[in-house]
Chain A
Amino acid sequence: MGAEFFLLVLLLLLAGIAVPLATSGQDRRISRTAAHVCTIAASAVLAAIALFVLVTGQEITWTAYQPFGFFSIAFVIDRLAAFFLLIIAAVSLCVAIYSGEYVEHLEGGSRRNLLCGCVNLFILSMVLVVASANTLSFLFFWELMAASSFFLVMYEYTLPETRKAGIFYFVMTQLSTLFVLLGVILLYAGTGSFAFSLIRSPVSPLIPVAFLCLFLGFSIKAGIIPFHKWLPYAHPASPSPISALMSGVMLKIAVYGLVRFLLDVFTPELWWGLLILAAGTASAVLGIIYALKEHDVKAMLAYSSIENIGIIFIGIGLSVVLTAVNLPVLAQISLLGALFHALNHALFKSLLFLTSGSVVHATHTRDIEHMGGLSHVMPYTSALFFVGAVAIAALPPLNGFASEILIFISFFSSVSAVDPLLKVVMFIALSLFALTSALSAACFVKAFGSIFLAMPRSEESAKAREVPFLMLLGPAILAGACIILGLFALQLFTLAGFAVPEPDMLLIGVLLLVMAGFTYVVLHFTASREVRVSETWGCGTLSQQPSTEYTGHGFSEPIDIIFSSIYCTRLKNERMFFDEKNCHFREGVAEIRLLKVFEEYLYLPVSRASLRVATAVSRFQNGCLDTYLLYVFFAVIAVIVYLGWFA
């Protein structure tokens, strides 16, 4: 009976696409609202289906279209798929509520209808990717997801930076599809099947190659370093709800693909796990180090997404390693930690993107150096952002910590069980993981402090006003989910039937409240209750100026300097010199340049090389009929020679 409800979800989403597109000629709010209502209804039904499958374990199967024996568009929702469908549903619901108001404030007239329709197409394609029962339909909907998200990034296509971001994103996402396609074809060559079924022996040598292709494809989509550059371009360029969907959900679809193939198709080897672990660790550490340097709030969140995807990959890689060395219990804990972190990251990252969208809407700038003091004028938005910041900094008792501690525990427990050489690798990964998590706390102290605390640093920031109700409701649901998932983590795992060594966060939460109450009561009875409001001491200046505040740049300066070799900052220091007659005989400039390492040493060389090859090849196609006849002549001779030789 589940299949009917799934069909209902698809029909609702299709309606959500059709309505705004059909009325795209008229710039009317009602058709956009209808699209949002469709999304909300579809998300609610989808969440219900997903919860049903998660709790009962009953699979839902549905074959939609089967023209040939081996080719079919079919869907299976098992517990893994249901978990990711829940992520899609939860984020889409809140994003749709938020968009109901946000989209109306965008510029673009009736183009906004297209945006609403495209959002629903995007959500639909993600639902279908996750529900796909075989690799062929997986691939088909994967490409649909890539195409629809490209249109969403290009919404403000008149801006040159958006066009650049869009093209960059398009190339990267097509590369990803290319590698996934290659992986699927290799799998077919190795096994003769498009199904998600376990490969049995004899194992063909093509299988590791297929894994590498799929891993590459999913890494590009998930933004694993060094394939991450599209994220910090695409996120600032697209509207905030789109960033929330892309960062919160689409990256998780790549995680889903990796987990699905690792669990259901391959029998992973040790080095696969180490590869995933290494990629995850590099992304996590470098992602957060770059995030600290970033002062565009949405690019900062994009880098932080790279970090969190890295953490998820660390969990998956660790799980594969532990499975390979025969520690299934710890492997399961680690995998559960990774999946739980995927859900948590979806929630708090979309929360942060939506609230930062509100901030950008109110202040008309994305630069955190021009914000400040917003907690006075936007109290609700600042409270919601704060919940997200605490959650993403992995502080107890919120959900970010609840999932990271599982990965920590499996690291800690596994070091006493695996062989010595592996242990050293684990210790390195563990210490880098700890560094990541501490740096992310620093990053979000900086973000929250610069955006919301102290004095406004620009006129726009001083004039900002709180956003309308719907733009608070969407994030508020996400914030509530972050708190609940943190406090009830242990209980939820028990409900799902997994025994994990998660500490009881509810107890910790209660204890924190008890201790805070104790402190408050003791102070109430023993301390003076006098309060005075007086200006901050500014070393004797008459009144404090915003220009004397500590800036975001200043905040991250120590970390900039400590990790300067990673940033590859180039210091160039040239001067002008004059002789005694004041004739200047030499001059120069001073600059500090942030080298874009990956772009200058990886992306550009690759693109230049492909351009060279393309130029060389294009010389053969000169449009002259005689040349083409010559080619045909040579081809015929070659065929004759070949046949004569081998026949």
Chain B
Amino acid sequence: MNGFLLYLVLNTLVVLAIAPLFVSLIKKVKARTQGRSGPSVFQTYYNLAKLLKKEVIYSPNSSRIMRVAPIVNMAALLVAALFVPLVFVPEPLGGIGNIILFLYLLALAKFFMALAGLDAGSSFGGMGSSREMSISAIIEPTTIIVFAALVFVFKSLNIFDMFATSAAAGTLATPVLILLGISLFIILIVETSRLPVDNPETHLELTMIHEGMILEQSGRNLALMELSAAVKLTLLMAILINLIVPFGLMTTFTLAGLLIAALLFVVKGSILAGIIGLFESSTAKMRFFRLPSLFAMAFFFSTLIIIIEVFA
């Protein structure tokens, strides 16, 4: 129990500290590929600090949903963060780490965010919510198939056990895992609203989805929304990293091990952020109604992996 409390504090603080870094890194890589020097890698931290100092503006149409959504969103993401050990894997406790529950905590956050998008009565917010819920619905079969495949490969429903298994194996993963890694990467791109699904950079009504949904947020509420989006990105990246390249991940707690693990995680995360940045730079935004075919491709790809795995 004590070990778990330590984990709770540690994991939450690490995820909150690292998350904005990866967001800035992706932006930096994208700027470099476009020939710009781009903002500093600490820019997201500065932005959050600036937003916290600003006032919050509510629309007179908005209800309590608008006021509680940022906090619920952040709380759901922080609880979800407990399900994904970044640097240190303790013994699971009372269903924490359950991969289905993890998925539905993300859905809880999204539910509140989408309602907040509708709350101000602006057509941008509604458009964002509608598109976000549609996309999250049609990617869901792929996500569940990939997660079922993970459960199948690791013989456990718990993310902690999966990480422990892969950390014990230590080496670079098997071909099956690499194939699953590709599917996980697609899910990461979709779930964190990146190109070619959504464009996190623009505020143009034709292209934006996630940004449209949080258009009416301001001040500290916007800071919470931005930070929780960064946390979500970090969590999905952590799942990918700790399953495919788990070396350095700690299963028993030591201070030296913690530092090494944290450092290694930051390095691996930065590399992955770079890959995401390059991937985003090399694709163009897809038309919204072209997306189902992309998702169908991802779905058949992951189903194929499973069928190969099943019959092999």
> Is B114 an interface position by the 8 A CB rule?
yes
Are B299's CB and A431's CB within 8 A? yes
**Stretch of B75-83, B177-185, B253-261 at the chain-chain interface:** B75-83
Residue of B61, B65, B148 touching A430 (CB-CB under 8 A):
B148
Are A555's CB and B130's CB within 8 A? yes
Query: Residues of B contacting A450 with CB < 8 Å?
Result: 118
- Given that A527-B223, A530-B55, A549-B126 are contacting pairs, would A439 and B119 also be in contact in the complex, using a CB cutoff of 8 Å? no
- Given that A375-B64, A424-B307, A519-B71 are contacting pairs, would A527 and B220 also be in contact in the complex, using a CB cutoff of 8 Å? yes
A359-402 vs B, Cβ < 8 Å mask (1 yes, 0 no): 00000000000000101100000100000001001111000010
Q: Which of A394-421 contact B (CB under 8 A)?
A: 394-396, 401, 405, 408-409, 411-413, 415-416, 420
Residue of A432, A442, A511, A538 touching B122 (CB-CB under 8 A):
A538
Query: Residues of A contacting B98 with CB < 8 Å?
Result: 405, 503
Residue of B58, B64, B131, B288 touching A531 (CB-CB under 8 A):
B58
Complex-state Cα separation, A92 to B29, whole angstroms: 61
**Stretch of B35-43, B103-111, B233-241 at the chain-chain interface:** B103-111
Are B155's CB and A416's CB within 8 A? yes
* B179, chain A: closest CB distance, angstroms: 16
Are B148's CB and A554's CB within 8 A? no
Q: Chain A: which residue is nearest B94 at the CB level?
A: A504
Q: Chain A: which residue is nearest B306 at the CB level?
A: A427
- Given that A511-B82, A516-B75 are contacting pairs, would A445 and B137 also be in contact in the complex, using a CB cutoff of 8 Å? no
Complex-state Cα separation, A382 to B115, whole angstroms: 13
> Is A518 an interface position by the 8 A CB rule?
yes
Are B224's CB and A519's CB within 8 A? yes
Are B219's CB and A438's CB within 8 A? no
Residue of A401, A408, A490, A512 touching B79 (CB-CB under 8 A):
A512
Complex-state Cα separation, A413 to B122, whole angstroms: 44
Complex-state Cα separation, A453 to B60, whole angstroms: 11
> Is B282 an interface position by the 8 A CB rule?
no
Are B121's CB and A453's CB within 8 A? yes
> Is B63 an interface position by the 8 A CB rule?
yes
B284-300 vs A, Cβ < 8 Å mask (1 yes, 0 no): 00001100100000010
**Stretch of B138-146, B159-167, B268-276 at the chain-chain interface:** B138-146
> Is A473 an interface position by the 8 A CB rule?
no
Complex-state Cα separation, A454 to B130, whole angstroms: 15
Query: Residues of B contacting A544 with CB < 8 Å?
Result: 61, 121-122
> Is A602 an interface position by the 8 A CB rule?
no
> Is A508 an interface position by the 8 A CB rule?
yes
| Interface size class of chain A, counting residues whose CB lies under 8 Å from the partner chain | 35 or more
Most A CB within 10 A of own CB, among B60, B141, B145: B141
- Given that A508-B95, A511-B79, A533-B60 are contacting pairs, would A562 and B292 also be in contact in the complex, using a CB cutoff of 8 Å? yes
Query: Residues of B contacting A523 with CB < 8 Å?
Result: 52, 71, 220, 224
> Is A449 an interface position by the 8 A CB rule?
yes
Query: Residues of B contacting A446 with CB < 8 Å?
Result: 130, 133
> Is A599 an interface position by the 8 A CB rule?
no
> Is B280 an interface position by the 8 A CB rule?
no
* A201, chain B: closest CB distance, angstroms: 35
Are B95's CB and A504's CB within 8 A? yes
* Main secondary structure on A side of the interface with B: helix
B53-69 vs A, Cβ < 8 Å mask (1 yes, 0 no): 11111111111110000
> Is A98 an interface position by the 8 A CB rule?
no
Query: Residues of A contacting B65 with CB < 8 Å?
Result: 375, 453
Are A536's CB and B140's CB within 8 A? no
Complex-state Cα separation, A439 to B100, whole angstroms: 16
> Is B129 an interface position by the 8 A CB rule?
yes
Most B CB within 10 A of own CB, among A427, A502, A507, A538: A427
Query: Residues of B contacting A376 with CB < 8 Å?
Result: 63
Are A536's CB and B111's CB within 8 A? no
Query: Residues of B contacting A497 with CB < 8 Å?
Result: none
> Is A520 an interface position by the 8 A CB rule?
yes
Are A528's CB and B148's CB within 8 A? no
> Is A501 an interface position by the 8 A CB rule?
yes
Query: Residues of A contacting B95 with CB < 8 Å?
Result: 490, 501-505, 507-508
Residue of B59, B93, B310 touching A423 (CB-CB under 8 A):
B310
Sorted nearest first, the 9 A-B pairs with minimum C-beta distance are A550-B126, A503-B95, A454-B121, A530-B55, A449-B118, A504-B94, A434-B144, A431-B141, A438-B140
Between A and B, 23 residue pairs with Cβ closer than 8 Å are A390-B111, A394-B107, A424-B307, A438-B136, A445-B114, A445-B129, A449-B129, A453-B115, A453-B119, A454-B121, A504-B94, A505-B95, A508-B79, A508-B105, A515-B75, A515-B76, A516-B75, A533-B57, A533-B58, A533-B60, A535-B60, A536-B216, A559-B134
Which residues of B come within 8 Å of A, CB atoms? 12, 52-65, 71-72, 74-76, 78-79, 82, 93-96, 98, 100-101, 104-105, 107-108, 110-111, 114-115, 118-123, 125-127, 129-131, 133-134, 136-138, 140-145, 147-148, 151-152, 155, 157, 216, 219-220, 223-224, 288-289, 292, 299, 303, 306-307, 310-311
Query: With contacts A441-B111, A449-B126 known, what are 18 further pairs, Cβ within 8 A?
Result: A375-B64, A375-B65, A413-B157, A416-B155, A427-B145, A441-B133, A445-B129, A453-B121, A511-B82, A515-B12, A527-B53, A527-B223, A532-B55, A532-B57, A536-B59, A549-B126, A562-B134, A562-B138
